[in-house]
């Protein structure tokens, strides 16, 4: 029998009152950026301090400094060394955190540059980084005592040398969610196109619930980072380019996964404006991108599914939403000891009395919730075979897009015409696992190329919005 370990996640906020921190007592109105190198392999990891720089004025909230959601693979805290008082905390994930699970990490060492951002302390503080263990509980993995007068601490704010423009402005940065969009693969002559693409992103995101109902809580600004040539690097297609922020398709040998590894340049460009969340807008027509919690998203601007891509990847970055899909290419057998995911939109616990979105379940809906999974899986296998064949034939992007459209049409029709379509329950199949993992609704942006977030995703997004707004 499969054993399920259930974790109780701190997603309810009354404790915030007990953890209140006086911002003006402990911090200046500017951002400290702690840069470090993260290195290791599949068996060990290490952290090495690089430098501390000023990242501009503080854009985050001044009242909600302690993270009660505790999402992400990693988590960091800023504490007063004398009293041990918790002053600031945030969860996050990283490229390293993904890389260490790949086959490459079993053979080689990797090193990645990373940054943590928090209000500039008025006095020395302790930084503690935590990582989830095999039971998904956080354990400390790195400590650093920050002295604000250390010779590797530079309090001087960087001079803005990139042009920027507002896309959406609704108020002071510390009162709103602040998103920065950086151009990638746009030449100086293509910045008019970048402006239109940035506006398209804002429209796509803020027309989608629950962002639509909370659009007044967002600021979106764009920064022009000119590249020497148009487009992105595609190693799997023998298209090689050197763009401004070094974003490339083919991350971890996955053809459509795009990541940027020049962390300092990305951070320096982003700090041109106040920001908390980052979009790397790729001037490319090939469908692809990626999203990492509290790091950034990448998204191609010129494919037929760009609006879906923008919102799907932002869901990963903003609220640590798990992919709800499973396919023949990614599904695998479950371990005997199945751990409850920390992500708020998937669960391994289909118990109607304790399921993590119990209060959202539609009355009268059975848990687990029956759905026409066998028919869906059979069609999915058929599409996967077509997709693999087209890849082997090096089919054009237009041909691939037609297959994606065919798949979307079938998915929408099938998943919207079942007995429990539109109900909130526990539908088996999620987070790359065909069995043992559940999502809250039959369909969702995180499951197929659907147009709406499921109820569990919407709740998670609202919780994050609340954490960044005052």
The neighbouring-strand residues paired with 89 are: 77
Q: Please say whether the beta carbons of 437 and 4 come within 8 A.
A: no
- Domains delineated in the chain: 7-157 (2.60.40.3250), 163-313 (3.40.390.10), 337-468 (no CATH)
Nearest alpha carbon to residue 313 among 290, 341, 296 = 290
Alpha-carbon 229 to chain mean position:
28
Reported as a single tens digit per residue, the pLDDT across 17-63 is 446 899 999 999 999 999 999 999 999 999 999 999 999 999 999 99
Q: Please say whether the beta carbons of 429 and 441 come within 8 A.
A: no
Residue linked to tokens 């000891």: 337
Q: Please say whether the beta carbons of 241 and 185 come within 8 A.
A: yes
The pTM of the full predicted model, rounded to 2 decimals, is 0.93
Q: How many CB atoms lie within 10 A of CB 405?
A: 13
Nearest alpha carbon to residue 272 among 167, 156, 182, 153 = 182
Q: How many CB atoms lie within 10 A of CB 229?
A: 12
φ and ψ at 194, to 5 degrees?
-60, -40
pLDDT at residue 178 in the model:
98
pLDDT at residue 5 in the model:
42
Q: How far apart are the first and last CA of the chain?
A: 47
pLDDT at residue 391 in the model:
82
Reported as a single tens digit per residue, the pLDDT across 332-365 is 344 456 799 999 999 999 999 999 999 999 999 9
DSSP symbol at 160: P
Q: How far from 268 is each of 75, 189, 244, 271, CA to CA, in Å?
A: 23, 22, 12, 5
Q: Please say whether the beta carbons of 428 and 373 come within 8 A.
A: yes
pLDDT at residue 272 in the model:
96
Phi-psi category of residue 70: left, alpha or beta, with phi > 0 → left and psi -120 to 50 → alpha:
left
pLDDT profile of the chain (470 residues), mean per 10: 40 45 96 98 97 95 96 98 97 97 96 98 98 96 96 90 96 97 98 98 98 98 98 95 97 95 96 97 96 98 95 98 79 58 97 97 98 95 90 87 93 96 97 95 97 97 96
Strands 433-439, 346-347: parallel, antiparallel or unpaired by DSSP? antiparallel
pLDDT at residue 3 in the model:
41
Residue linked to tokens 């329950």: 425
């Amino acid at each position: 029998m499969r054993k399920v370990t259930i974790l109780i996640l701190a997603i309810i906020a009354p404790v915030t009152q007990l953890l209140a921190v006086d911002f003006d007592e402990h911090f200046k109105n500017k951002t400290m950026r702690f840069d470090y190198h993260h290195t290791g392999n599949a068996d060990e990891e290490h952290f090495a301090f690089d430098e501390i720089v000023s990242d501009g004025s503080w854009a985050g909230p001044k009242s909600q400094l302690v993270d009660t959601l505790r999402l992400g693979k990693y988590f960091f805290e800023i504490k007063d060394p004398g009293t041990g008082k918790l002053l600031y905390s945030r969860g996050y994930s990283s490229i390293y955190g993904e890389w260490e699970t790949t086959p490459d990490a079993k053979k080689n060492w990797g090193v990645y540059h990373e940054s943590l951002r928090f209000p500039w302390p008025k006095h020395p503080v302790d930084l503690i980084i935590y990582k989830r263990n095999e039971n998904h509980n956080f354990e400390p993995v790195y400590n650093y005592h920050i002295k604000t007068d250390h010779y590797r601490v530079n309090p001087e704010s960087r001079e803005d040398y990139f042009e920027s423009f507002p896309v959406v402005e609704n108020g002071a940065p510390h009162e709103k969610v602040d998103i920065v969009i950086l151009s990638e693969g746009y030449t100086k002559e293509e910045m008019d196109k970048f402006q239109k693409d940035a506006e398209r992103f804002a429209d796509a995101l803020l027309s989608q619930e629950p962002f639509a109902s909370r659009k007044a809580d967002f600021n979106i600004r764009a920064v022009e980072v000119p590249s020497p040539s148009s487009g992105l690097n595609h190693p799997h297609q023998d298209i090689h380019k050197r763009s401004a922020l070094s974003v490339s398709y083919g991350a971890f040998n996955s053809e459509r996964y795009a990541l940027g590894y020049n962390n300092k340049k990305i951070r320096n460009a982003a700090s041109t404006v106040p920001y908390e969340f980052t979009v790397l807008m790729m001037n490319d027509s090939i469908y692809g991108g990626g999203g990492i919690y509290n790091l950034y998203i990448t998204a191609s601007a010129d494919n037929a599914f760009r609006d879906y891509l923008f919102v799907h990847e932002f869901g990963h970055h903003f609220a640590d939403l798990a992919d709800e899909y499973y396919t023949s290419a990614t599904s695998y057998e479950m371990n005997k000891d199945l751990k409850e995911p920390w992500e708020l939109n998937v669960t391994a616990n289909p118990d109607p009395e304790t399921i993590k979105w119990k209060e959202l379940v539609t009355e009268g809906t059975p848990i687990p919730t029956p759905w026409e999974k066998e028919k869906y899986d059979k069609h999915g296998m058929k599409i996967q075979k077509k997709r693999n064949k087209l890849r082997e034939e090096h089919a054009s992007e237009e041909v691939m897009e037609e297959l994606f459209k065919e798949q979307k049409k079938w998915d929408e029709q099938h998943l919207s015409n079942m007995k429990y379509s539109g109900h909130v329950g526990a539908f088996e199949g999620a987070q790359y696992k065909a069995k043992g993992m559940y999502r809250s609704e039959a369909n969702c942006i995180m499951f197929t190329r659907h147009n709406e977030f499921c109820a569990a995703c919407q709740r998670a997004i609202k919780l994050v919005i609340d954490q960044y707004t005052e």
